[in-house]
Each structure stands twice: as structure tokens, then as C-alpha cells.
Amino acid sequence: MAAFGSVFMPKMALATFENNQWSEASIVGSDSIQLHPGAHVLHYSSTCFEGLKAFRHEDGSVHVFRMDQNIKRLAQSSRLLSLPTLDEEQVAKMILDVVAEYGSDVPEPPGSMYIRPTHIGTEAAVGKAAAPTATSMLYVLLSPVGDYFTGGAKALRLLLDETGMRCAPHMGMIKSGGNYASALGPMMKAKAEVQADQILFCPNGDVQETGAANFLLIDGNEIITKGLDSSFLHGVTRSSILTLAADLGMTVTERDLTVTELLERSAKPEVEAVLSGTAAVLTSVGTFIHNDKEYKVGTGEPGPTAQKLRQALNDIQWGKAEDNHNWLTKVC
């Protein structure tokens, strides 16, 4: 099967910002865009993106999940990067229009249609290293995706890194390209040297997140994760899982967590650790690697609470459970 995110629908929604205003959005071919080689994004990384999904229900209808949250975050990323201000209603319409265009191509569960809104600075101005782009382009790409866990869900090995950082601290809550490039070097090194699947960035012992997913610790009936601050990406999956955990009667604790406490708690057999994000929903962590030692998390295998929470979220997304929090928007 094709790798996640490598197949695209042939058209996308696109709008441009020029002369201080947004153009009308249109549906255009998705195989290319025209960009000046001096475009601001290519030199000074004025770029941000989002990732959300549309789901097919049993009756054939198609629904997007928590679109408002992703649009708000894209608007925030754009603002923090000094990109032109988004017209949030226009973005919503672009998403709904392009998903509707491909409504019949939205895969059945466990597949879905991955939606990738992208906002880039297009002004041809290599002199603007210290000035914002005056023009930009916003497009919404679609990629049908299958079950993320085709190989079977395997618990991940995470390297706990207390010295490095995922990105510059003031960039943590921005979903911007440069942050991922910044985490690649350390990640490739961790893969090669200790066969880690991911790095859990814990600068000065403060447990933050991995390269592209949030981290949550499950200790019996309690779920613990770092409280929102500007140092990390505020995941929609993280917030959804915390809400569902509370619905299920779990204690939700949002606070700082140190590496020391993490390793202490993980030694208990009932403890689970998970990564959360739109692509994989919840992925279990089986092993921490820290200062050349390996620590099993609980049993070292995917646990029952992670499974229960993932199921609760999937059931809402797939229309099998009541959408009590109004997270779905019907597209067609």
C-alpha cells in the first residue's frame, strides 16, 4: 500500500492574498502550483499547515472532525509567522467545498480523507529576511488514507532527550515546516544509534512532545499530560482524548511532568504511555531509552486504556457513537 500521505486527489481548493485581500477560492489541479524561485516561503520559511480528517459513516454521509479547531490553529500559526490574516469563514468553505467534490472518494473506515490546508508566503523578495511577505497562497490538499496500523499496532521505542529541543521555544505552538526539519537531525541520529522510533523531547527534564505528536501518560484511572503553554503544539487529538477520558470518568491532570517522575511511574505494570495526533490517533509507547538504559512502560505492550480511548474517539468519528460534543460537520 502507498505510504501515508503520498496519494492526492487530482484537485484542491486554492485562494491567494494580493493587494491586501483574499481572492475568491477556486478548485484547481493539485499537481502543481506556480511559485517564483524568490518566493518568501522558500527562503524565510513563511509557511504553516494543518492536518484534519473527513470520515465516511455507515449511511454514506461524510463528516469532517473538529474543523473549527484546525482553522483556529491555522489562523494562529499564520498570525505568529506574520503571514496575511486568514479569512476563517473562507477557509471553512474551501475545506467543505473540496471535500464535497471528492465525497464519493472518502474511504470507508478504518480509512479516511486526510485534509492538508497549507498557507505560504509567495512574495518574490529575497531582501525580506526581516519583513513579512505581502502576498500569500492558501490551498487545501486531500489525501485518501487507509488504516495507519496496517502492520499491526506495535508499541514504540522513544528516546528521552533532555538536552535538545524539537524547535525554538517560541515556535512550539506553530504548525510550521521549519520545526519538522529542525527535529530531523536528532531523530535520524536516535534511529541509527539506539533504534528509537521517535524522540520525546524533554528539555531540562520537562516532558514535552515528539516530532509530530503529543505525549500522554495513563496511570490507572488518571491521564496526565503537560498543560498548555507556548512550548509545544496544542493537538486537537490531545484535547479530544482528554475530553473523552473525563467523559469515561477518568481523572484528567494537565501539568508539567519530569523525566524522573515519568520513569518512576512507568515501572508500574498498569501504566501506559501514548502519542496522540490526527494521523495515527493514539499510538502506544512500549519502551523509553534514557542515558543508555532501557525502561519498559508498564507491560511494554499496547494497553487496554489506550485501546478504549482510541475506540471511543473512532466511534464518534465513524458515526457509531453519539457526537455529544458537536465535533462533526456534515459535508455531504
Q: Contact residues for ligand PLP (CB under 6 A)?
A: 51, 175, 209, 212-214, 233, 235-238, 276-278
> CB of 276: closest distance to ligand PLP in angstroms?
6
Give the integer Cα–Cα distance in Å for 55 and 59: 11
Q: Where are the alpha helices (DSSP H) in 45-123?
A: 67-80, 88-101
Pick 23 or 69: Cβ nearer ligand PLP: 69
Contact predicate 65/331, CB 8 Å: no
With respect to ligand PLP, which residue has the nearer C-beta, 136 or 237?
Answer: 237
Please say which residue, 67 or 213, places its beta carbon nearer to ligand PLP.
213
Nearer to ligand PLP, 277 or 303 (CB): 277
Angle separating helix axes 304-317 and 236-247, nearest 10 degrees = 110
What nine digits make up the cell of 110? 478504518
In angstroms, what is the minimal distance from the CB of 52 to ligand PLP?
Answer: 8
Supply 213's cell numbers: 505528536
CA distance 154 to 280: 12
Closest to ligand PLP by CB, 84 vs 235, is 235
Segment holding 288, helix H or strand E: strand 281-290
Euclidean distance between CA atoms 170 and 231, whole angstroms: 6
Q: Report the distance separating Cα 45 and Cα 48, nearest Å.
A: 9
The Cα 255–Cα 244 span in angstroms is: 18
- Residue closer to ligand PLP, measured from CB, 95 or 125: 95
> Is the CB of 16 or the CB of 283 nearer to ligand PLP?
283
CB of 298 to ligand PLP, least distance (A): 22
Which H/E stretch holds residue 22?
Answer: strand 21-22
C-alpha span between 31 and 48 (Å, rounded): 19
